[in-house]
Structure formats: C-alpha cells, structure tokens
Amino acid sequence: MIYYDDGETLIRSMERADAEAILAGELAQGYRETMDKYETRLNDQAAGRSAALVAAYKGNVAGYVNVYFDAPRGAFAGTGWCEIVDFGVLEPYRRRGIGGKLMDAAEAIAFLRADTVYLGVGLHSGYGSAQRMYVKRGYVPDGSGVWYGDRVCEPYGPCRNDDDLVLYFSKKRADER
C-alpha cells in the first residue's frame, strides 16, 4: 500500500527486500541488528497486528517505521492506543524531511484506530535528534518515569544506558487536544 508519494519520497508498506536493504544500511552504520527484528515486523504486518512502512528516496530505501495496533507492551499496553516502534532514517538520507514524512504517515495510520499514539524513545545520546523531534511534534512524557525493558526502572535501581532504557511519550489526535 502507498501512503505518500511526492515524486521524490515514497512511503509504502515494507517488503522483505526493503528489510534486507535497511539491515545492510544499519550494519554499514555500525548497528548490531539482525534480520530477526525485520522478520518479526513483516510477520506482524502480515498478521494484521501492525503496519510496517518504508521510505524510498529517489528509488533507494532510506528509512522505516512500524505502527502496532493496540500494542501489547510499554507504558500504554492494553489501552487500545497504537505504538510507534523502530523509527529510523539511514544516515545518507537524513536532513531531507524523510523522517517527518514517515512520522506523518505513521501517525495518520495510528489516528485511524485510536485518539492517542505513543512511543518509547531511548535515552542515550544516539537518540538525541529523535528526542527533539518527538517533542517538536507534540509528544509529551507519560509521567511513569524511565523504563528498562518492559517495566519501570525503580528509583535508584540498576539499569544500563542502552537501547532498552526509554522514556514513553504520547500524543493526542489534533481534534482531541
């Protein structure tokens, strides 16, 4: 399915070849990913649990995002709200508006199903630009504090500053604010 096309950037449903291109791009950037993550996203999309989106810029795979319907984890699990998961734009394609277009598409999909969308954003410096972008887009912290894995990190409790250390944010649909 096509969600956006301006002749330069195309946002559509992810396919296996897209996932392979994303994985190759992330490995080239030094990430430690495996195809398992993308297989899960593609399988969840096929089962109707999510929408896996890819952005192509001038025909090249440039970024991706996933929207889970009634997400089963995180600060808002079981609320019926959609969760945005695994948003990214490959380094050669950053600062071209691709991330904003991916988020616009993801939010549009989420707001067809619920009045609120949420996401968890990592707290280490690698997430700095994402943290700023989410605030600029109107996301606010949920108030539950820092999460590690799938639970709240207790005050003064142990945690690691890795990809599992997140703060959850939510955003209401414009007509609900």
**How large a percentage of the chain has pLDDT more than 90?**
76
More confident residue, 174 or 66: 66
Tell me which of 36-40, 64-68, 88-92, 145-149 is least confident: 145-149
Crossing angle for the helix pair 35-46 and 16-28, to the nearest 10 degrees: 150
Average of per-residue pLDDT across 24-40: 92
With 90 as the cut, is the pLDDT of residue 176 above it?
no
pLDDT in tens, 116-156: 999 999 999 988 989 999 999 999 998 889 999 888 998 98
User: Can you tell me the distance from the alpha carbon of 76 to that of 67, in angstroms, rounded to the nearest whole number?
Assistant: 14
Mean pLDDT value across residues 36-45: 95
Boundaries of every domain in the chain: 2-176
- Nearest CA to 57 out of 12, 117, 98 is that of 98
Long-range contacts of 1-6 (CB under 8 A, 24+ apart): 3/53, 3/105, 3/108, 3/109, 4/101, 4/104, 4/105
**pLDDT value at residue 18:** 97
Q: What is the CATH number of domain 2-176?
A: 3.40.630.30
Q: What is the pLDDT of residue 172?
A: 95
Question: Is residue 174 scored above 90 in pLDDT?
Answer: no
Model confidence at 71: pLDDT above 90: no
Q: Is 70 exceeded by the pLDDT of residue 177?
A: no
Average pLDDT over residues 35-40: 94
C-beta separation of 136 from 170 below 8 A: no
**What's phi and psi for 69, nearest 5 deg?**
-85, 130
Q: Which residue has the higher pLDDT, 17 or 175?
A: 17
Q: Find the distance separating the first CA and the last CA of the chain, reported in whole Å.
A: 29
